[in-house]
Amino acid sequence: MPANTTPCGPVTRRPAAARAGALVAAAVAIAAVAVTVTVPAGAGASRVGADRVRTAPAEAAHVRVARVQADRAQAAPVEAGRVRVARVQADRAQAAPVEADRARVARVQADRVRVAPVGADRVGAEEVTEYPVTTAAGAAPAGITGGPDGALWFAEHGAGRIGRMTADGTVTDFPTSGPDTGPAAIVQGPDGALWFTETTAGRIGRITPAGLLTEFPLPTPDSGPLGITPGPDRALWFTEATGNRIGRITATGRITEYPVPTRDASPHSVAAGGDGALWFTELGGGKVGRITTAGRITEFPLPGKAGFPSGIAAGPGGMWLTASGGHAAFRIDRLGHLTRFPLPGADSLPGGITRGPDGHVWYTDQAGRIGRINATGTVTLFPVPDGADKVPLGLTAGPGRSVWFTELLGNAVGRVRAGTG
């Protein structure tokens, strides 16, 4: 695969004094950087041989989102609930007759779905705690990661800042070069700094725990950098949602870009696998991609109507990803064999995904829940209070044996204690 390599000179700024954030509605801020994705026709199960797809038991003819219209692909790159909450039409309940009763959690067998109890008397049990982002109104926290200093670091997409939160909820933040840079995903790099994408500005950012900011412009204009992850080669790998490329940047700012074979694939999230390669989702292409550190790309289509793959993370048995178009999570092994795990809730819109400190896979449901999936597909749900209005989005394992998540429209960071099971 031909690659374009460019040394990009950094723009370095010292941290500025904290300033009051502009009152910007998070949904508007996300919509302002909307990307149009073309979903290819015929993305059906015929593209994936039956021997390559397994369905987890108790699928119960789980909901297919036949009612999610193609125009939802015009959602913003950072998902504003992928701004998807607005894209799912009210008539989605008119799904295929075979699924007439599926709008109940009962459609996923009761022994495979658990809802965490609610109450103050659960000593040591899992619970949801929320901490408001007090430094900027309309911050729209998106990506989140654990830092080398034991704090949580998150991207404030609506305010153009990088936030830092301690385990007790104390927030400080650092401005990027402007309020409209659109920070999206963020990870800890191999150099001990935090690296993040600036979707609107078309740059990769780097910030030290002390707040020293460096920004690297991408060689391709309007490329929409979105997901980012450290690679096995001590570089950072990222997706270009509108540029339709996978990028690689070294600690010194040297950037290489690799075109994705599928046209208008809209590469979304990316994560390192246990096989020494990088795996990524194609939101518009309905596929999972694998790229070696040498730039060789292999693509694996998702079956049937399981479209809009978004989050991806390494987990037990392979790579795990979410697909909001199929109300499901998938596991894919290094050979491309897929296993589908149906997720409960007719309104389910799974987004971010990570491996928790308990070894299980955790995901955000933009309908207002945090979910946990064990290796057999049993799902435990942790409802976020008024969560549908807050849009849980990114998540990461963090301090206190907890999973931490962002609330895009709730302007908060939340925590769920992972427990031991």
Helix, strand, or coil (residue 161) = strand
Strand ranges across the sheet with 171-175: 141-146, 152-156, 161-165, 171-175
**Is a pLDDT exceeding 60 seen at residue 91?**
no
CB of 60 within 8 A of CB of 342?
Answer: yes
156: tokens are: 């404030």
Helix, strand, or coil (residue 279) = strand
- Mean pLDDT of the 42-51 span: 34
Question: What is the rounded end-to-end Cα distance, in angstroms, of the chain?
Answer: 44
| Cβ-proximal residues to 35 (8 Å cutoff; 6+ apart), any chain | 74, 75, 76, 77, 224, 241, 242, 266
- Mean pLDDT of the 209-229 span: 97
pLDDT at 336: 93
Angstrom distance (rounded) from CA 92 to CA 102: 12
- Mean pLDDT of the 275-293 span: 97
What letter does residue 88 receive in the DSSP assignment?
B
CB of 279 within 8 A of CB of 312?
Answer: yes
**Is a pLDDT exceeding 60 seen at residue 393?**
yes
Angstrom distance (rounded) from CA 299 to CA 290: 6
Ranked by mean pLDDT, which of 101-115, 300-314, 336-350 comes out on top?
336-350
Closest to 270 measured CA to CA, from 217, 230, 210: 230
Phi, psi of 93 (to 5 degrees): -65, -10
Report the CATH architecture of 20-417.
7 Propeller (2.130)
Domain boundaries, the chain: 20-417
- Entry pTM: 0.76
- Mean pLDDT of the 131-147 span: 96
341: tokens are: 């795990």
- Mean pLDDT of the 175-202 span: 97
Amino acid found at 367 = A
Q: Which helix (H) or strand (E) holds 27?
A: helix 26-31
Angstrom distance (rounded) from CA 36 to CA 87: 13
Phi, psi of 281 (to 5 degrees): -100, 150
Closest to 83 measured CA to CA, from 285, 324, 267, 246: 324
Neighbouring C-beta atoms of residue 312, cutoff 10 Å: 28
pLDDT at 135: 94
What letter does residue 305 receive in the DSSP assignment?
T
Kindly give the pairing relationship between strand 287-291 and strand 297-301: antiparallel
User: In terms of pLDDT, which residue wins out, 236 or 2?
Assistant: 236
Amino acid found at 44 = G
**Is a pLDDT exceeding 70 seen at residue 173?**
yes
